[in-house]
Amino acid sequence: MRKNLQLFYFFQIDEAASFKQTLNHETMINLITPVSVMLDPGTQPQVAVNIAFSQAGLQALGITGDLQDEPFANGQMQDASNLGDPGTTNWKPTFTDPSNLHGVFIIASDKQIKIDAMVATLELGFGKSQHNLYKLQGNVRPPPFACHEHFGWLDGIGQPAVSGFQTAFTGQQQVDPGVILVGESGDPSVRPAWAKDGSFLAFRELQQLVPEFAKFVTDNAPPVPGEDPKDYAGIFGARLFGRWKSGAPTFIASRADDLELANDPQRNNAFNYTRPAQTSLQISLFVLPRAHTHCSKARPRADNVSHQNSIYRASIPFGTEVTPAEQASHTSDPTSERGLAFVAYQSGIAAGFQFLQKMWLNNPRFATGKNVDPGFDPILGANHGEARYIKGAYISNPTEAMNIPNDFIVSRGGEYFFAPSISAIRDTISV
């Protein structure tokens, strides 16, 4: 949802019959914004409310049909190893008790007063039939960092365009609606009829250790021939992400940021990681090789991957800005977490988020068929809390591995949900 503020309101259902009765009321149904509407920002209301249920939540409401998605059925806690988490030691308590986490309201607006009013409306309407387990407030960062995540990079620039809802710009991935919405063209799975036009939601609360990451980049930035040493860190950070902080791709703007390129939607995705044969060796080595950067791991482009593995992200930062004290000490204040409320929609978690995290980001050999194993995704790759490595970082020796001893993104837990259509809410879930 393209709003400046989002509240994630996680709840437990206490009285199923009463909850269903309230949910079935036309007044309540009219408040809900389904995923199909969220795909078109022009149709979003001033206050958008999405509701999604976990497997435990559907069972609490008496919905027992198999949605044919194993990660969803098992829950994210059982999937922690596949996601590269070091167990669930760092997880918030709400996410380590999945039997009681039944659902989430995602309430989005540009004004906090409207979100607060909607929470009051929902709590009054549902009364004692549910209670809140945990709230996470997301907020777009203040200018000039709006639309940038806490490490400083423009977020969401590689989002796919969903056919029937958006028209792709040059180089932007165009996917069938069934990649995101269950039962639509492009969804190969067979699921209950009521699930049509719903979407699986993968939620992750990701803490970002911003001062620590900045120090790592500064301390480990390799020399760059022909460049001023004071620019090494900025160049290295861009090479790790595959984009400059502005969003300009390093594959095109290899030596310096290019704001004009970054701001041109017809150009900022117009590349596929292949170079003409006459490209100089120096340029080829300067840019991290294909599948060595975060952007190329998360969206491989030229490696002929299936569009079925695409996700539609609706993430938002949370927490405050880094303080001068944190910058000076290179250490995050443990009492003031910041990070990303990661949200991904897809028609199947096994083919979407789980596949992307396990088979691409956490797989040091992806993409296969390269002269050198790329290593882990340098940003979101995870190795169960153990050290990671990347290759291609050293321009003078691209086959040499660089060790990344610590995680700069820490999973605080999450869950898998199913966000149903309005008809599914009215005709199946609430009856």
Active site residues: 155
Residue 235 identity (one-letter amino acid): I
Within 10 Å of residue 143's Cβ, how many Cβ atoms? Answer: 6
Q: Please calculate the CA angle 377-383-389 and round it to the nearest 5 degrees.
A: 50
Residue at token pair 């995540």: 149
Q: Are 393 and 233 in contact (CB under 8 A)?
A: no
Reported in sequence order, the residue ranges of 54-112 that DSSP labels E, i.e. its strands, are 103-109
Structure tokens at 306: 């299936």
DSSP symbol at 163: T
Distance CA 149, CA 140 (A): 8
Q: Please calculate the CA angle 305-311-316 and round it to the nearest 5 degrees.
A: 140
| DSSP of 393-413 | --TT-TTSEEEE-S-SEEEEE
Structure tokens at 157: 């620039």
| DSSP of 216-270 | HHHHHPPP-TTS-GGGHHHHHHHHHHTB-TTS-BTTTS-SS--HHHHT-TTTTT-
Q: Are 347 and 179 in contact (CB under 8 A)?
A: yes
Structure tokens at 163: 């056919």
Within 10 Å of residue 27's Cβ, how many Cβ atoms? Answer: 9
Q: Are 380 and 348 in contact (CB under 8 A)?
A: no
